[in-house]
Structure 1
Amino acid sequence: MNNLPEVPGLEAARVLVVDDNRVNRHLLQALLERGGVTRIEMAEDGNDALARLDTFRPDLILLDLMMPNLDGFEMCRRLRAIPAWKDLPVLVQSSLNRAEDRAKAFAAGATDYVTKPINAVELLARVRIHLQNRALLHDLQRFRERTESELSLARKMQERLMPSPERLAEVEAAAAVDIAAHFAPSSELGGDFWDLRHDDAEPDQGQGQGRIMLYMVDFSGHGVGAALNTFRLHAICQQMDMSGLTPAEFLSTVNRRLCALLPNGQFATMLAGVVEPAENRFVYASAGSTRPMVWAPGDAEPRLGDSAGLPLGLLAAAEYEERSLPLPPGGRLFLYSDGAIEIPVGDDVLDEPGLAALVAERIDETDGRRFLDGLLERLRAVGPIDDDLTALLLTRKG
């Protein structure tokens, strides 16, 4: 007994010994103490053991099977029915050595099984393994909780990149528009975001004041890396005076600055545009974005714009073409990230014409929020959405 191996770093571990035989309990206690485990409590049957769980909070149970009142099999079953203890290691030590007895113990929830008479070296080796695994599991759980907390904070920060409800309400009131938006990353963090600005320097003859400048971004990849890039690009855009630039000039400037920051192989698609009420149009430039859609009251289907253009971050000298789509009073503008068109459909994907067909199904829905919610429900019925999904519907009040 004097040569028993120490159980390193486990002095703080709690072991509950459950055996109806007093001599066996004290022999196991002495064995554990000589192995380095000192926080030990003893119970004389299954009921006694279950009653001690919440006060002693063991890290491992040494359990005999044949006991009066509540035997080890039933105690194990009841233990596993308690969510807080479903992963607690239970090391059975029993004189029952038939294969069916072992199978019954494992079916009841035992973690490991040793037979009496106890081999001290073997028992301590198994105790060490299970306690170390228990400690590792706790460390992993704490790491997961910390990571989830940090990711939750990062997601809230990312959501703040987009216009708040209060800011949207201000723009809607000032520019005579309704705006409905949706943002859902495919994981905890995503590579999409959008923003807008209202320029009230150009009144619009009673149909709302000034232009609305907006952009939508979709970075390659998902998760933390893509999210970090959204913060990079958001900082660039916030430092710029978009009102003094055309959409094409804005994209060119953003691209040059982003090329200096992005690691090789990373890029973003982006659409930047201006709603011009006085001209009844939407003027935009695209860096490989999805195709914008517009429609007017009475239209049976949306009109798809062109979106050709080199993605941001690939070539600093890239130039972008300016295009326009009609947007009269009562007209609608629909922007979306590629999560809406890369939904699997058989051996292919939904694509933009497919999305336009789904939009046409709901084209008479006048409430913007209901339109988006219904479209998203329809998209989920088509197939799984595996990418970040951002969508924006702007309606000019007629």
Structure 2
Amino acid sequence: MIDRPAQQGTILIVDDDDVSRKVMESVLRRGGFTTILTARDGEEALAILQSETPDCVLLDVVMPGIDGFAVCRHIRATPRTAGIPIIIQTALDGHQDRHSAFRAGATDVLVKPIEAYELIARVSVHTANRVLSARFEEYHRRMEAELEEAQSLMTALPPAVESLNEFQGLGVSFNDHLRPSSAIGGDYWTAWPCQDGRIGFFAGDVSGHGVSAALRAFLLHSLLVPPPPFAEDPVRLAAHLDSRINRAFQANGHFVAGVIGILDPWDGVLSYVGGGFRDGFIVREDRKRAESVPLSGMPFGLVATMPRSVTVRSLLPGDALVLFSDAVVEIADHPDAPGDADAFRRWAMGVIADEEPAFDQLASVLGARFAREFGTFVTDDLMILSAAITRPRNLS
């Protein structure tokens, strides 16, 4: 006789007839099952189920005391055992009997006398499904735990409260609204202090979605934090990003659309290098005017070397710079959603006129309103970032 390979899974046989119980156990062992539990009646079966979680239950219907249907319902009502496959074995073969079995929660029905090969085949299929399902559930739990950890790490990437307070002392109040399309995403921003009270910043949208985009965002973060020695020079920093991002991403063609900027609150100047980001805008102090800030150009890392130049704009105390990622203007299924940067600027100015937000909370207010009006239609990572300019308090 050819030995059959051992099959995974624990089988519980519940039958008050000693001969039937022993025959089924023998057949299953010849079929390769090595871990088999047996119970003489429903009460013994329930006692076993208090400490064991079998992968399949072969359950007789007609038994003294607690019958098979009651055991079946108990298994289904208990969260720990609710997913176990239950094969009802019965000598009754009427339509109503099968209907009663499935109403009680049976997965399958075998009619006595049971043929050996059919018994092995049915138990093998249901047990394999149960084992695979358990593995999938464990994998799902592990992935959820890993995603939760990655999400907490992503939320820690933007500047901490201590840094934001330092920037406020230098005359810039940053505020953001970040919403990934899944558990984690690739929208990212950071900022750093420079000499003479200036502040450098980067805002970017890593290509792709989900885990892969988040991993690329982590690499981007490693290139900017701590800031390299030349972080006060947007052109040199852009060259650094082009080279390193291209080296890391060139195999799969990914890149980072973004902007590198230097804010000088004292002189009221914004100096920046745009890299394929959506055009931002400056809301002036009177809250009635908004001026576009073009940020087009080659995305960072798409090529290894790229000639770039600095653009300079006035950004005076009382003004606020607003930046945003693609998701804000790529909503296809809502007729009133802004379709481009100009439309979003007009929408934002309408919100500012309606709600008169404090500029140090501008991104949060715009993001909350955007979520209320269009949130269910957003399919990409979304970021809105604002930088409100005030008079510096503590230049060193």
TM range (shorter): 0.7 to 0.9
Please state how far the C-alpha of 1:376 moved relative to its aligned partner.
3.0
The answer to whether structure 1 residue 57 and structure 2 residue 35 are counterparts is no
Q: Distance in 2 between matches of 1:349 and 1:47?
A: 65
Contact 1:16 1:40 in 2 (8 A): yes
Q: Distance in 2 between matches of 1:80 and 1:354?
A: 55
The answer to whether structure 1 residue 102 and structure 2 residue 91 are counterparts is no
Q: Which has the higher contact order (CA 8 A, sep 6+)?
A: 2
Residue aligning to 2:394: none
Pair 1:39–1:259, CA change in 2 (3 A): closer
Q: TM-score, normalised by structure 2?
A: 0.85
4+ residue runs of structure 1 moved beyond 6 angstroms? none
What is the one-letter code of the residue matched to 2:115? N
Pair 1:107–1:263, CA change in 2 (3 A): farther
Please state how far the C-alpha of 1:289 moved relative to its aligned partner.
0.3
Please state how far the C-alpha of 1:94 moved relative to its aligned partner.
1.0
Q: Percent identity?
A: 32
Residue aligning to 1:206: none
Within the candidate set 113, 125, 149, 1:153 is matched to 149
Please state how far the C-alpha of 1:76 moved relative to its aligned partner.
2.5
**Number of residue equivalences:** 384
Q: Secondary structure at the match of 2:379?
A: coil
Contact 2:200 2:232 in 1 (8 A): no
Residue aligning to 2:86: 90
Residue aligning to 1:207: none
Any residues of structure 2 matched to 1:59-208 within 5 Å, and which? 59-172=55-168, 174-199=169-194, 201-202=195-196
Pair 1:118–1:167, CA change in 2 (3 A): same
Q: Distance in 2 between matches of 1:350 and 1:75?
A: 59
Q: Secondary structure at the match of 2:50?
A: helix
Any residues of structure 2 matched to 1:1-398 within 5 Å, and which? 6=4, 8-10=6-8, 13-46=9-42, 48-172=44-168, 174-199=169-194, 201-202=195-196, 210-238=197-225, 240-245=228-233, 247-264=234-251, 265-300=253-288, 302-346=290-334, 350-363=339-352, 364-366=356-358, 368-369=360-361, 372-373=364-365, 375-382=367-374, 383-397=376-390
Q: Secondary structure at the match of 1:299?
A: coil
Pair 1:353–1:345, CA change in 2 (3 A): farther
Q: Distance in 1 between matches of 2:370 and 2:30?
A: 66
Q: Distance in 2 between matches of 1:283 and 1:90?
A: 69
Q: Distance in 1 between matches of 2:119 and 2:2?
A: 10
Unaligned runs of 5+ in 1: 203-209
Q: Distance in 1 between matches of 2:241 and 2:170?
A: 26
Contact 1:295 1:327 in 2 (8 A): no
Q: Distance in 1 between matches of 2:332 and 2:360?
A: 26
Q: Secondary structure at the match of 1:28?
A: helix
Please state how far the C-alpha of 1:214 moved relative to its aligned partner.
0.4
Please state how far the C-alpha of 1:183 moved relative to its aligned partner.
2.6
What is the one-letter code of the residue matched to 1:270? G
Please state how far the C-alpha of 1:55 moved relative to its aligned partner.
1.0
Q: Secondary structure at the match of 2:198?
A: strand
What is the one-letter code of the residue matched to 1:297? E
Q: Distance in 1 between matches of 2:18 and 2:128?
A: 28
Pair 1:17–1:377, CA change in 2 (3 A): farther
Q: Distance in 1 between matches of 2:240 and 2:34?
A: 68
Pair 1:368–1:54, CA change in 2 (3 A): farther
Q: Distance in 2 between matches of 1:368 and 1:84?
A: 50
Please state how far the C-alpha of 1:349 moved relative to its aligned partner.
6.0
